[in-house]
Amino acid sequence: MADSVTLRQTDVFDANYEEIYNLREEVLRKPIGLSLKDEDLSSDVKDVIFVAEKDNKIIGCVMMHPSDDIHTLKLRQMAVYDAWQGKGIGKLLVTRAEDYCRQHNANRIVLHARITAEPFYEKLGYVKTSGVFTEVGIPHVKMEKEIA
């Protein structure tokens, strides 16, 4: 299924950014009773965004945010529509994000994973580096991966 999906790099100035916003709202905020409308999204302009598309419709996204350490990027706002979860879309997006890191001389990715997503990231080689903490009202852990 994932083989018929295309990946592309984009940013907040993309004509389809509203689709990315809607995906994040639907998958990441609505289920926990929050809305992106209530958040300061001004730092999104610094992010490199990767999207997965099927038939010209965005079905998944992930954002890469610069950190204070030029060799580290933060993976954030990973979202795949429910109908596409479990079909390799998330793995494709993370792999593309890791390739981007290599191409830009970054050697580490950090992320804050919801507890429910921790096994997904572990399968991709990410290691938990913190105890449980609360972010957006739900439990998370910090995870990292060294990128060779």
All structural domains of the chain: 2-108 (3.40.630.30)
pTM value?
A: 0.93
**From start to end of 3-137, where are the E strands?**
6-10, 48-54, 57-66, 72-80, 108-114, 127-128, 133-135
55-87 pLDDT per residue, tens: 999 999 999 999 888 899 999 999 999 999 999
Under DSSP, the state recorded for 16 is T
pLDDT tens-digit map of 20-68: 999 999 999 999 999 999 999 999 999 999 999 999 999 999 999 998 8
Query: Looking at residue 121, what is its pLDDT?
Result: 98
pLDDT in tens, 113-142: 999 999 999 999 999 999 999 999 999 999
Q: What's the rounded Cα separation, in Å, for the pair 71 and 141?
A: 21
Q: What's the confidence (pLDDT) of residue 2?
A: 66
> Would you say residue 1 has pLDDT above 60?
no
